[in-house]
Copies of this chain bind each other. A is one copy, B any other.
């Protein structure tokens, strides 16, 4: 239901873009399905305060635009050089490299247009959302994580390096929707949600590494065993499967402790957090 609403909104937000290859490429990648975890996290956190999330769906879609842009650019030949994403050709394979680069640029820029153009939130809060999202996705966040990931492609990453890569590459854009929800729902809780985001981001990434070993290719829509082929350090390669599972659990428990400290609908929030950690795809 919430996911359908997000999908409808993404469809609507990109339908008015100027026609051409870049619009097609943006929509090809953005409307390819996907779990919509990041916007779902934001909207569910808002809902957990007993607030109607519907006025904020567009704002949540801005986060999905940033996430999709990062996938398009990460898949490029000069970066991770991936041909498949969610079981379909990656953007630069379905179109061409130039169009994929521009589609990423367009989605990144459009995200900030959506946040600024929104009619439901006052300017003070919108500015805070833009500050949080731009910090989380730029050189102080996701871009830095991708840089570090590339840096360690030909070097052995130790556990601390790995934690650092993932804290930025994946963690920041899982933290951001929770922090953005707090700006809308209850600013005083910001520090706690920042912590929740940090722990759940780490748990999410460990589960990602675990799925690369024990996951089902069909469900995942991508090849497994890729990390080990590339001799890439992962939580599983550094800690072993059992210890990795234990650490994932431990981060998840830290998350739960924080969640129970908040005056929110705990069940609602735990439902979505659990779906992140116990996912099989």
A residues contacting B by CB (< 8 A) are 17-18, 20-23, 26, 69, 73, 76, 78-79, 96-99, 101-102, 104-106, 108-110, 112-113, 115-117, 122-124, 126-128, 130-131, 134-135, 137-140, 143-144, 146-148, 150-151
Contact = CB atoms under 8 A, between A and B. Distances in A.
B17 A140 contact: yes
7 contacts: A20-B144, A69-B105, A99-B150, A102-B143, A116-B127, A116-B128, A122-B123
Contacts of A105: 69, 73, 104-105, 108, 138, 143
B139 A18 contact: yes
A147 B113 contact: no
B151 A102 contact: no
B126 A22 contact: no
B102 A147 contact: yes
B78 A151 contact: no
A104 B99 CA distance: 15
A65 to B, nearest CB: 11
Given A20-B144, A99-B150, 11 more contacts: A73-B102, A78-B101, A102-B146, A106-B143, A108-B108, A108-B109, A109-B137, A110-B134, A115-B130, A116-B130, A116-B134
Contacts of A148: 20
Nearest to A20: B147
Chain A residues touching B, majority SS: helix
A143 B112 CA distance: 15
Contacts of A124: 123
A79 B106 contact: no
Contact of A130 (B104, B112, B122): B112
Contacts of A98: 76, 78-79, 150
A206 B105 CA distance: 26
The interface centre, meaning the residue of A69, A73, A108, A124 with most chain B CB atoms within 10 A of its CB, is A108
A9 B116 CA distance: 25
Contact of A147 (B99, B123, B139): B99
Nearest to A135: B113
Contact of A126 (B73, B76, B127): B127
A131 B130 CA distance: 11
A78 B73 CA distance: 13
